[in-house]
Amino acid sequence: MTRQPFERQPFEYAVIRVVPRVDRGEFVNAGVVLYCQNLDYLCALTSGDDARLLALDPGLDLAGVRAALLAFTETCTGDSGPAGDEMSRGQRFRWLTAPRSTVVQTGPVHTGLTADAGAELQRLLAVLVG
């Protein structure tokens, strides 16, 4: 079966959240990670709002948060991180979206259809984070 250009493909995504104080459960959306198996695509985009984060926790380690957000994008490309390039894109997506109780974590995984995963990721970032 050959895919037609611009044929919509299923994808999965999760919002990347910064939870300055895990005990309070408050968070700021800081990015999106998107995986599309059929298009062989995995990418994360982030955008921080330091003022909003500091409003939730004035003592937050912003440099640590930035490093953790960078680790999301680097793990997607396989350039670095514990997942590295030894894992498939699907395995890296599952590793990134696994539940955790840390300052930087993901929300639930959602699905959709797209013909252009990169454009969809940009749209989701604008709608959910911007």
- Per-domain residue ranges for the chain? 9-128
pLDDT at 87: 87
Which of 19-23, 28-32, 35-39, 60-64 is least confident? Answer: 19-23
Contacts of 4 (CB under 8 A, 6+ apart): none
Q: In angstroms, rounded to a whole number, what is the distance separating the alpha carbons of residues 129 and 38?
A: 26
pLDDT at 44: 96
Nearest to 66 by CA among 42, 94, 47: 47
Nearest to 45 by CA among 76, 73, 65, 23: 73
Helix (H/G/I), strand (E/B), else coil: 28: strand
**pTM score, two decimals?**
0.89
